[in-house]
Chain A
């Protein structure tokens, strides 16, 4: 019960810090502008290349990006939470020494930011509908949303483990890793286009199957890994999520111990 309470309060705190810098309608507009322009960029790129002849590819790209948003939003939130708390708000220490585990508080805080990832994701899908996408949402879609959220937390914890020891590098770490992951997870193009060595990495990358499963839950036909059935993808994705969150928690707990030993928690950078 106490854990749930702490998670909840951390979540509310995270949400408030994230959202209360402006009037609610400004914040809301802020959340909409990035996805709108992101979608517009993809559209213009495809329009420049093929006119309106490749709209299927466009909607396929949007679906991948929408789902990936949940994962990237949550994990990014986690890394920035630690960075901001330590360097700018100077709240990392009071949060750390307060009752309850650091892990719960960090998860709660970053979920406050992560929910906007879900919002952005749904908004991109909504835009796709408006532009004529023919998605047929299956019940498994919500299962995938949950898995993306869990995977985002797990992946965020892995990255946050490193960010405990870093200053500004944490920002580079998250952006770099997310960009690399996006490239090898079939988010915007089929992995077969990658150089051979990257293709090998892409196909052993579990996130590729998670994205593909998510796309199929929107009723989209597969451009690749057609041989794997949607049912099998459901299990693969669950496994990916559970594995990521387990590795995430383990890595974070170990890193926290090391960080406490070598004083990294209190180290600040202000360049």
Chain B
């Protein structure tokens, strides 16, 4: 039992280390991963400016922009990552190793969270410098709590998606592409989800980024309370439940999918 736990911790840290080294060695992210999302979200700040909206809406957008980094990381570096691992021939080696594939996925998540947090913080910092966004720093402890819960449930969802994407071939890339804009909409990356109406916003709450972002906005922008979907406490409770469900589901799913993949030979097929 303990031996097995140590094995999986080592595998997890080993996979996370790939991301740490990548971040250090592949420096493309500095100009592009930080500036690029900032450029993307700037469009919405300028639209709010043209509509003469108050600066708190700029904070809405910047916080949404930093959350986009995580969502993109989930899509491209978690969900479709196993697809890339298959393309490079790593996937069969993950499966013939004694460690659980979940430990590798958690390793990816840990590495991804670290790398993406650097990017997300840079976006917020640049947002403060360029757009002078107002932030209520006293709300930081609450924001950190909301943020951590969001990440746990979001990466749990990412692990689930990884398993599902494992069954797909080239569609994995397209699925990731396809899941970008709908989630931008339903998670309210550029506007409060309350605007979507109660029922749509309730359904959208299944995506951890939606409630996570809403609670982050509540804690860091007190003026945003009227635009909040649910109270901070309820949102935190739901995020806790989502974290447990998604992580549990990802463990169940990965076992099932591995069996299907072994039966159908999907672990070994490369180009499709």
Name A residues whose Cβ lies closer than 8 Å to a Cβ of B: 21-22, 30, 33-34, 37-38, 40-42, 44-50, 54, 57, 61, 88-89, 168-169, 172-173, 175-176, 179-180, 182-183, 187-190, 193-194, 270-271
Contacts and interface: CB of A to CB of B under 8 A. Distances in A.
24 contacts: A21-B170, A21-B174, A33-B182, A37-B184, A47-B195, A48-B191, A48-B192, A49-B47, A49-B48, A50-B51, A88-B87, A89-B271, A169-B32, A172-B32, A176-B32, A176-B39, A180-B39, A183-B42, A183-B43, A189-B43, A189-B46, A190-B50, A193-B46, A270-B88
Contacts of B178: 30, 33-34
A57 B50 CA distance: 9
B contact residues, range: 35 or more
9 shortest interchain CB distances as A-B pairs = A172-B32, A37-B181, A179-B39, A48-B191, A189-B46, A49-B51, A21-B170, A48-B195, A169-B28
B44 interface: yes
A137 B264 CA distance: 52
B166 to A, nearest CB: 16
A191 to B, nearest CB: 9
Contacts of A169: 28, 32
Contacts of A270: 88
A41 B193 CA distance: 11
Most A CB within 10 A of own CB, among B33, B40, B271: B40
B16 to A, nearest CB: 15
A44 B47 contact: no
A49 B182 CA distance: 20
B194 to A, nearest CB: 9
A179 B39 CA distance: 6
Contacts of B171: 21-22
Contact of A176 (B36, B46, B190, B192): B36
A188 B190 contact: no
A61 B43 CA distance: 11
A84 to B, nearest CB: 10
Interface in B27-82: 28-29, 31-33, 35-36, 39-40, 42-44, 46-51, 53, 57
Interface string B114-157: 00000000000000000000000000000000000000000000
B46 A44 contact: no
A188 B28 contact: no
A37 B191 contact: no
B222 interface: no
B184 to A, nearest CB: 6
Nearest to B33: A172
Nearest to B195: A48
Contact of B43 (A44, A88, A175, A182): A182
Contacts of B87: 88
Contacts of B49: 189, 193
A175 B32 contact: yes
Given A33-B178, A189-B50, A44 B185 contact: yes
Interface in B8-31: 22, 26, 28-29, 31
Contacts of A42: 47
B196 interface: yes
Contacts of B170: 21
Contacts of B36: 172, 175-176, 179
Nearest to A53: B51
A45 B174 contact: no
Given A44-B190, A172-B33, A176-B39, 4 more contacts: A45-B48, A49-B48, A179-B40, A180-B39
Nearest to B170: A21
Contacts of A89: 271
Contacts of A188: 43, 46-47
A168 B28 contact: yes
A40 B190 CA distance: 12
A118 B87 CA distance: 31
Given A41-B190, A169-B28, A193 B184 contact: no
Nearest to A188: B43
A194 B181 CA distance: 25
A34 B181 contact: yes
Most chain A CB inside 10 Å of its own CB: which residue of B47, B169, B191: B47
Interface in B170-209: 170-171, 174, 177-178, 180-182, 184-185, 188, 190-192, 195-196
- Among A37, A45, A183, A270, which residue has the most Cβ atoms of chain B within 10 A? A45
B112 to A, nearest CB: 14
